[in-house]
Amino acid sequence: MLSSYGTSVFEVMSRLAIEHRSINLGQGFPDGNGPADVRAKAALFLEDRPNQYPPMLGVPELRQAVAAHGKRFYGLEVDWQREVLVASGATEALAGCLFGLIEPGDEVVLLEPLYDSYLPIVRRAGGVPRLVRLVPPAWELPRDELAAAFSARTKLILLNSPMNPAAKLFTREELAFIAELVLRHDTYAVCDEVYEHLVFDGRAHIPLMTLPGMRERCLKIGSAGKTFALTGWKVGYVTAAAELLPPVAKAHQFITFTTAPNLQRAVAYGLAKDDAYFHSLRSELERKRDAFAQGLAAIGFDVLACEGSYFISADFRPLGFAGDDVEFCRHITTEAGVTAIPVSAFYESAAPRHFVRFAFCKEDEVLSAALERLGRHFRRN
């Protein structure tokens, strides 16, 4: 039952940060206001385009733009009329895919650490989760366990790459291994790729959908929230084979039915922005990651690798803190004035308990102020 779950860790930590006037590096949202031109389009379209219900699948401009984006970045041929659906954020897109595809009793393979909406929705859809865990610091894919989690009862695997909070980008070899399991067991893959443009060090994000045999079996989810640093807009999109999309649309029509039309049109404009935009999105974040990682290491944290996303995790044991990650996050919020997210929140049980996740998608001054506070606090203790 959904009522048995607590309040989302992101909300809990953000409320705590507000209460203690702490620098919030917990919940993953940038502190800028997104690209001015994209916002200007949204304002313009609010005035000069219709504001009534747009089509349930999304406005044609955005569905065309999502199809063109798939072709431009990944060489995908996408029929915008039959293979694209717009949802109110990736969260709703995920719910639509899961409610649309899962029948009671179906098994769903999921990789921990996982985003907090996955398990409640899988279960509410009647799915039976089969959890496979990746553990820090290496976050290696345990191939034997993954293979063992698939069976004749598996309906789908839910894959998040780049992965939150592991900041891991799945390699082509790992994806090929997953694709082989998907084919062998005749299943689908719901691919949460909200951080597709936030990848670093010259790496390329590879959608599972681009691997042989996967075009018909994958549902690829993107989010304007991440691609345009506008997390409050909640505009997401699903790309999937024409046979796979109808069940998702059936669910979507009963969840939100549609999404604010001016925001959809502004996102369509954004997806067609030139390469310079997408390059600077990643290079700016990469620069922030480097500076922040260096600062954490100088304080004494054991900092993990970060290949993509908004997040970097660190082991706090070298600082000599004697509690677990939840206690550590409370402690630094109330005592140092910096908020992070405990990595254990991304596991259902028996989680690693000494890693915390920081969001570095913040202004440089905010990141350096956070480092300064943490440095001062831990030097004193």
**167 with 201: CB under 8 angstroms?**
no
Max intra-chain CA distance, the chain: 61
| Residue 234 interacts with which of ligand GLN, ligand PMP, none, CB < 5 to 8 Å by class | ligand PMP
Min separation Cβ 224 and ligand PMP, Å: 7
Q: Is the dihedral of CA 87, 309, 193, 316 positive or negative?
A: negative
Q: Which is nearer to ligand GLN, 10 or 278 (CB)?
A: 10
Min separation Cβ 91 and ligand PMP, Å: 3
| Residue 118 interacts with which of ligand GLN, ligand PMP, none, CB < 5 to 8 Å by class | none
22 binds ligand PMP (CB under 6 A): no
Q: In angstroms, rounded to a whole number, what is the distance separating the alpha carbons of residues 261 and 82?
A: 19
* Closest CB to ligand PMP: residue number: 89
| Residue 10 interacts with which of ligand PMP, ligand GLN, none, CB < 5 to 8 Å by class | ligand GLN
Min separation Cβ 196 and ligand PMP, Å: 11
**373 with 334: CB under 8 angstroms?**
no
SS3 category, 87: strand
Q: In angstroms, rounded to a whole number, what is the distance separating the alpha carbons of residues 148 and 141?
A: 13
Identified binder of ligand PMP from the candidate list 111, 146, 158, 194, rule CB under 6 A: 194
Identified binder of ligand PMP from the candidate list 236, 261, 270, 352, rule CB under 6 A: 236
239 binds ligand PMP (CB under 6 A): no
Binding positions for ligand GLN, rule: CB under 6 A = 8, 10, 27-28, 164
207 binds ligand PMP (CB under 6 A): no
89 binds ligand PMP (CB under 6 A): yes
Beta bridge partner(s), residue 132: 111
The strand pair at 84-87 and 236-240 is best described as antiparallel
- Angstrom distances, CA of residue 25 to CA of 18, 195, 339: 12, 17, 5
Q: In angstroms, rounded to a whole number, what is the distance separating the alpha carbons of residues 376 and 336?
A: 8
Structure-token pair, residue 33: 């206001």
Residues in touch with ligand PMP (CB under 6 A): 28, 89-91, 115, 160, 164, 192, 194, 223, 225, 231, 234, 236
